[in-house]
Homo-oligomer: A and B are copies of this chain.
Amino acid sequence: MSNSLKIAVAGLGTVGTGTLKILSEHGDLLERRCGRKLEVTAVSARKMNKSRGVSLDGFDFFEDAAEMAAEANCDVVVELIGGSEGIAKKTVESAIGASRHVVTANKALIANHGTQLASKAEEAGITLAFEAAVAGGIPIIKALREGLAANGMKSIYGILNGTCNYILSRMREEGLEFQAALEDAQRLGCAEADPSFDIDGVDAAHKLAILSSLAFGRQIDFKNIHVEGIRQISKIDIHLAEELGYRIKLLGIASENENGIEQRVHPCLIPHAASIAGVEGVFNAIVAEGDFVDTFMMEGRGAGEGPTASAVCADIVDIARSFNLPTFGIPADELKAANTISMSLHRGAYYIRLMVVDQPGIFADVAAILRDNQVSMESILQHGRLPGEAVTVVMTLHETEESCASRVIETLANLNGVIGKPVMIRIENL
């Protein structure tokens, strides 16, 4: 164990730079913690000479990351390029092919190719680690794979995207509409110039795919996740939800039953009393429910140089300490099929907002539609009634099957007297 662990870093953006900083600033500390030196030997980046606030002196420089992965003098390849295909994938495959351990922060890659890459890594006898791929500042991968390993997991859910959480927090706190909050987030660097990956829920779905694979011992099944983002959330819904005792959050939720797993990402109304209701701004939070440990919650920064690099280095530390586990906690060829259950079979409660013309009989019509679909109402609120004006009506429905709720909404949309499209948001009574 006294020989150094040699590290090649592919990609010197924010996280790559942070990783080099930790390895350099905490060299002595890490050596004590690992019982051996952690030594960066090679790096790869598009530009060698860019100023990054960290020295690259003494590292072999490769223009081609995949070539570095195969040929550098290293034990571990750290892939921080990003993207599910192309050079990132090639780099990881090249590292596995050369029997080098892989540490990656690439959620898209793992969410799309995790099962196959895990098989290859296990055949090669190397570690494929990705703590940084999900909620950087929260060591949730380790918690699921090790800390909670004695549990059968019932569910895992959380706030998995800091950009969305920031936008929803600002909308609520300052009464902003979505677009204004988004622009603010972009100005402050909390959202990308093209924010669709975050605000349409894709990023959260990548993370959820990874978490549910780990939690339930199943193959990754990103493509069957039900994904909705937060573009359609308006400040009136946030306001009305608060009035009903709920806060709106974008959650990723996975649970298992005898038919398979539910995997879904969408905005939710959650009760104020839920532990994660108070998680605001760019913070992420994840709740795991195990059959022995009960409910367990972790909260921390989901992104950023320091937190993500901290997760990358934790994986490197595990490798340096000779801790080699199957990628998803059990061997890849023992992972069960995902059997992701269709969203139409989901059972839950629903918030529905309508604009209706204030005319006699309209409530009787609404009530009839609920009755005909065997859906029962929990509460109803009516707002903004001035004579002759349209009225905002908010209903919450008791637990029912998603297909019933959808049918109700479709029928309501076509009802004479209903203006525009009804808004539906799922309620999670966490």
Contacts and interface: CB of A to CB of B under 8 A. Distances in A.
Count copies of this chain in the complex. 2
B30 A150 contact: yes
B297 A148 contact: no
Nearest to A291: B306
A83 interface: no
Contacts of A30: 149-150
Nearest to A295: B300
Interface in A289-342: 290-301, 304, 306-307, 309-314, 316-318, 321, 323, 325-326, 329-331, 334
A246 to B, nearest CB: 16
A290 to B, nearest CB: 7
A147 interface: yes
Contacts of A304: 294
Interface residues of A, number: 58
A35 to B, nearest CB: 8
Interface stretch (A56-64, A131-139, A179-187, A205-213): A131-139
Interface string A271-299: 00001001100000000001111111111
> Which of A18, A217, A278, A297 is the most central at the interface, judged by chain B CB atoms within 10 Å of its CB?
A297
Contact of A310 (B138, B217, B293): B293
A143 interface: yes
Contact of A314 (B149, B307, B312): B149
B33 A152 contact: no
B314 A292 contact: no
A142 interface: yes
Contacts of A296: 137-138, 298-301
B150 A314 contact: yes
Nearest to A276: B299
A423 interface: no
B137 A217 contact: no
A22 interface: yes
Contacts of A317: 146, 149-150
A35 B323 CA distance: 14
A135 to B, nearest CB: 10
Contacts of A314: 146-150
B330 A33 contact: yes
A32 interface: yes
A197 to B, nearest CB: 23
A25 to B, nearest CB: 8
A300 B304 CA distance: 26
Nearest to A325: B321
A298 B137 CA distance: 12
Interface string A102-139: 00000000000000000000000000000100001111
A151 interface: yes
A255 to B, nearest CB: 17
Interface-centre pick from A136, A309, A321 (highest chain B CB count, 10 A): A321
Contacts of A33: 149, 329-330
A383 interface: no
A146 B292 contact: no
A292 B318 contact: no
Nearest to A141: B147
A26 interface: yes
A310 B275 contact: no
B148 A294 contact: no
A143 B147 contact: yes
Interface string A29-66: 11011010000000000000000000000000000000
6 contacts: A33-B149, A150-B310, A150-B313, A275-B279, A291-B306, A294-B304
Given A32-B331, A150-B314, 16 more contacts: A26-B150, A26-B152, A29-B217, A32-B217, A143-B147, A148-B314, A149-B317, A291-B306, A292-B306, A292-B307, A293-B310, A294-B304, A295-B300, A295-B301, A296-B298, A297-B299
* Ranked 6 nearest A-B pairs via Cβ: A139-B147, A150-B313, A292-B306, A296-B300, A293-B310, A292-B310
